[in-house]
Amino acid sequence: MTEAVNLIEFQQHFKDEQACADYLASARWNEKPVCPHCEHEGVYHIKTRNIYKCKKCRKQFSVRTGTIFEESRLPLQKWFLAIYLLTSMKKGIPSTQMAKYLGITQKSAWFMLQRIRYAAGCKSFNAPLKNIVEVDETYMGGKKKRGKRGRGAAGKTAVAGQIERKGEVRCTAIPNVKSATLVPLIRDNVQIGATIMSDEFYSYNRLTKNGYTHKKVHHARREYVCGDVHTNTIEGFWSHMKRGVTGVYLQVSKKHLQKYCDEYAYRYNSKSMTDFERFSDWFGRCTGKLTYLSLISTQ
């Protein structure tokens, strides 16, 4: 199956736990199981118990071991449906609605969604951005009641973005918008020699010294486009992300903001894929572990 056009076809394809387990095994190992404990390829399948055993370290494991599904008591069928719903809906889905769809508690649904977002940020789109790249920052957080707007607004968290025109986006929650924070982040995500478009914010003034061609528009002068110089692409991404967060999730905490950045960046970067292609691509990122305690910890 290359594409599921509706939920009925999706559920017919993943009709039981074995079908889900077979798909997960194929996505992880491509018919060549590898031990998640020692990475040895000498593995055999104990079909009567549906588990695997490593010939080297002698440890047993299941297809879930070493993935975000490990230690979860929920069936893979519910996990698969949750992944498909979150990755196919353009603005996301709240945990309350997911709980109703899956017949689970809101707490379990929230934990599932956080794990799915965590996986979307793992093994993310890592190729450096190049050619023409727009950079900008925005602020996310609760509704403003009084005080300063825009950069430096109280009670909000800064988010930095870099987006290649007709390419991908990188989105990162950051502690501040100082040059010492923004420039190294750009160096990590943008190829040296690229042309960077920004507004007149002073934190970008060191980009030329760091090997970039830097062009800017002066928003303070009400200049938004000057030839091919503008930041409309990254501002369009901010608009989509903010509408999704405020319209679907209402608001997100500073602690979990990066996971929502990963969710919207992943959705943008995979926009050319069909819903099922995006679902399949996500399984290339599902390794790793995220515990509930780490999510709710205040540290």
- Written as one letter, the residue type at 65 is T
CATH T-level assignment (fold) for domain 132-254: Nucleotidyltransferase; domain 5 (3.30.420)
pLDDT digit string, tens, across residues 123-167: 655 689 999 999 999 999 755 555 555 555 667 899 999 999 999
Residue 45 has pLDDT above 50, yes or no: yes
Q: What percent of the chain has pLDDT over 70?
A: 92
Distance CA 93, CA 113 (A): 9
Residue 91 has pLDDT above 50, yes or no: yes
Residue of 145 and 232 predicted with greater confidence: 232
| pTM for the whole structure | 0.88
The confidence band for 169, taking pLDDT boundaries of 50, 70 and 90, is very high
**Do 160 and 182 form a contact (C-beta atoms < 8 A)?**
yes
Break the chain into its structural domains and give their ranges.
Answer: 1-13+71-121+259-299, 132-254
Quote the tokens at residue 33.
């199981």
What pLDDT score does 299 carry? 46
Quote the tokens at residue 265.
């960046």
- How far CA 35 is from CA of 8, 28, 47, 290, 294, in Å, comes to 34, 11, 16, 20, 26
Residue 196 has pLDDT above 50, yes or no: yes
Distance CA 169, CA 185 (A): 13
Residue 5 has pLDDT above 90, yes or no: no
CA dihedral of residues 288, 289, 290, 293 (deg, nearest 10)? -160
Distance CA 94, CA 108 (A): 12
The answer for residues whose C-beta is within 8 angstroms of residue 280's C-beta and 6 or more apart is 27
What pLDDT score does 250 carry? 83
The arithmetic mean of pLDDT across residues 91-96, rounded, is 93
